[in-house]
Amino acid sequence: MTTNPEMNAADIAKAVTGGKLSALDAIEAALARIKLHDGILNSFTDVTADRARAKARAIDADVAAGKEVGPLAGVPFAVKNLFDVTGLATRAGSKINRDLAPAKRDATLIERMEAAGAVLVGALNMGEYAYDFTGENVHDGPSRNPHDTTRMSGGSSGGSGSAVGGALVPIALGSDTNGSIRVPSSFCGIFGLKPTYGRLSRARSFPFVASFDHLGPFARSVTDLALAYDAMQGPDADDAACTTRGLEPTLPLLANPVSDLRIAIAGGYFQNNLFPEAVEAVSRVAKALGATRVVDVPEAARARAAAYVISTTEGASLHLDRLRKRPNDFDPAVRDRLIAGAMVPAPLVDRAQKFRRWYRAQFAEVFKSVDVLIAPATPCTAPKLGQVNFKLDGVELPVRANIGIHTQPISFVGLPVVAVPVPLEPLPIGVQIICAPWREDIALRVAYALEKMGVAAAPAPRGL
């Protein structure tokens, strides 16, 4: 048996476990595809081929010996380069971090994926220090959109979106502070899960904004997304914010009906500043789910503003010493935003954090009468690389600052979201399936139903 680019993780694992495909062949196929296409996509910054082959051989030996090999046996995956990978400096998209000592231990989530049998094949391009929605990087070049390589992959987990959208690997991991999983998922036409804040360990990943940093998976199918998510759950004393809740597997619940769920469309703020493609995508998802009720989330614009303020100030605090000592080694656009962030008066930041609690209470009210909220993931399909402005609701606005306007008010209070790809022509676009805290199972269940109905799907890469 051989692999094909569309083969998903569940199929690979099943074939490897059943002895129909060797893990080594699965990994060689991924490495060959990376070699063939990544010259264009520029999604990988490091390919860990030797390590991957060694791990694959060990899995094959275990299969031959009749040992358990895990639900992701032989599945190639890659991680945004802010995850620690043993032996690599964790560059986090920067020039400066390349001077760090190589990591001595993998990030917790890599360890958990590999404990489930998955095989790390490399680290992925990203926007500098994750302060980005475009997937562009001045040091490494942009990761490119697999459906049109003249367009953005979305950021900051651009390489993750590009690699999975281009079917180089079936699963990638990324981070989402203000939308950095959901934006590349939208632009690259794949599924992405931003779990509840604190659900997945961030241990041994390079931070950005401690208040909002989340890690999560990307995949080409909901089953793969759930497989990866389930493999990575669990408490971790090495991440101060990681929940002590027990495992809550989602895979067994995916096929449960969605007819009993109360599904609504997010109104007000979430229906403004949209290109027609985004309106169409939300409409298709709502229609498929029979959702007609529109629920307004009060003060979402203020929530986005508060998220912006907390991000720029916590980011500035994180990088203060690097800004002093090596300002010329930053991407100038990132540096100048961070310097400005360092100058925001402290009382305004405190008020933004207090507003966060108020806003969280508003969502708690919403979720008393609703199980699922549908909202756009991005205002538009992937813009051109280097594009500076776009026109939203008749107003010329900067692209960079506005790509994440619909994702920021959600991560601001840590709600779980699955971004589902709606395969419009010529480019896909994502829709957010938003649930109450700790209800990833519902978000994944709805995404699975949409996938089964053919409303959500990861299109084959059109630009390769």
Helices (H), 326-345: 332-342
Determine how many CB atoms are found less than 10 A away from the CB of residue 295: 19
Only segment of 131-139, 163-171, 250-258, 302-310 that touches other proteins (CB under 8 A)? 302-310
Q: How far is the CB of 203 from other proteins (least distance, A)?
A: 15
80 among known catalytic residues: yes
User: Which is nearer to other proteins, 29 or 403 (by Cβ)?
Assistant: 403
Residue 233 touches other proteins, criterion: CB under 8 A? no
Residues in the chain, how many? 464
Residue number with CB closer to other proteins (183 or 405):
405
- H or E element at residue 123: strand 119-124
The DSSP 8-state label assigned to residue 382 in this structure reads P
Query: What is the x/- site pattern for other proteins, positions 74-93, by CB under 8 A?
Result: --------------------
The yes or no reply on residue 272 touching other proteins (CB under 8 A) is no
Identify which of 91, 130, 84 has the alpha carbon closest to the alpha carbon of residue 109: 84
Decide if 22 is catalytic.
Answer: no
- What is the distance of C-alpha 252 from the center of its chain? 23
For residues 380 and 279, what is the distance between their CA atoms, to the nearest angstrom?
9
Q: What does each C-alpha distance from 437 to 194, 237, 434 come to in angstroms?
A: 11, 21, 9
Least Å distance between CB 144 and other proteins?
26
DSSP run (H or E) holding 192: strand 191-194
As measured in angstroms, the least distance from the Cβ of 412 to other proteins is 10
Is 180 marked active-site? yes
Residue of 43, 160, 180, 311 marked catalytic: 180
Min separation Cβ 439 and other proteins, Å: 10
Q: Which of residues 29-48 bind other proteins (CB under 8 A)?
A: none
φ, ψ at 268 (rounded to 5°) = 55, -120
Count the site residues for other proteins by CB under 8 A. 50
Within 13 Å and on the Cβ side, how many CA atoms surround 400? 14
Coil, helix or strand at residue 398: strand
DSSP string of 24-93, one letter each residue: HHHHHHHHHHHHHHHHHH--EEEE-HHHHHHHHHHHHHHHHTT----TTTT-EEEEETTB--TTS---TT
**The one catalytic residue among 22, 43, 55, 80:** 80
Q: Which stretch binds other proteins (CB under 8 A): 93-101, 354-362, 421-429, 445-453?
A: 354-362
Task: Find the binder of other proteins among 266, 355, 446, 464 (CB under 8 A).
Answer: 355
Q: CB-wise, 95 or 326, nearer to other proteins?
A: 326
Among the candidate windows 36-44, 236-244, 258-266, 440-448, which touches other proteins by CB under 8 A? 236-244
| Binding string, residues 307-346; x marks residues near other proteins by CB under 8 A | -xx--x-------x--xx--x----xx-xxx-xxxxxxx-
Nearest distance from residue 108's CB to other proteins, in Å? 18
Q: Which CA distances in Å does 448 have to 172, 265, 329, 353?
A: 19, 18, 44, 35
Residues 366 to 425: which contact other proteins by CB under 8 A?
401, 413-414
Which of 156, 186, 201, 205 is catalytic? The answer is 156
Closest to 230 measured CA to CA, from 71, 368, 407: 71
Pick the closer one to other proteins by CB: 191 or 269. Answer: 269
Residue 297 makes CB contacts below 8 A (sequence gap 6+) with: 266, 267, 268, 269, 270, 362, 363, 366, 373, 409
Mark residue 171 as left, alpha or beta (left: phi above 0; alpha: psi -120 to 50; beta: remaining): beta
Comparison of 190 and 303: residue with beta carbon closer to other proteins = 303
For other proteins, the closer of residues 279 and 340 by Cβ is 340
The pair of three-digit structure tokens given for residue 341, joined into one six-digit string: 């962030």
Give me the least distance between CB of 196 and other proteins, in Å please.
7
Cβ at position 126, least distance to other proteins in Å:
21
79, 352, 366, 370: residue in contact with other proteins (rule CB under 8 A): 352
Among the listed residues 207, 438, 453, 460, the single contact to other proteins using CB under 8 A = 438
Q: Please say which residue, 349 or 385, places its beta carbon nearer to other proteins.
A: 349
Q: Which of 283, 360, 362, 390 binds other proteins (CB under 8 A)?
A: 360
Task: Check residue 356 for interaction with other proteins (CB under 8 A).
Answer: yes
In angstroms, the first-to-last Cα distance of the chain is: 24
The beta strand positions in 378-428, using DSSP E, are 389-392, 395-398, 417-422
- Looking only at the bridges linking them, the beta strands covering 395-398 and 148-152 are unpaired
Residues 178-197: x where in contact with other proteins by CB under 8 A, - otherwise, as a string: ------------------xx
Tokens coding 23: 């893990």
Q: Which residues bind other proteins (CB under 8 A)?
A: 196-198, 240-241, 243, 299, 301-302, 304-306, 308-309, 312, 320, 323-324, 327, 332-333, 335-337, 339-345, 348-358, 360, 364, 401, 413-414, 436-438
Q: Which residues are catalytic?
A: 80, 156, 180
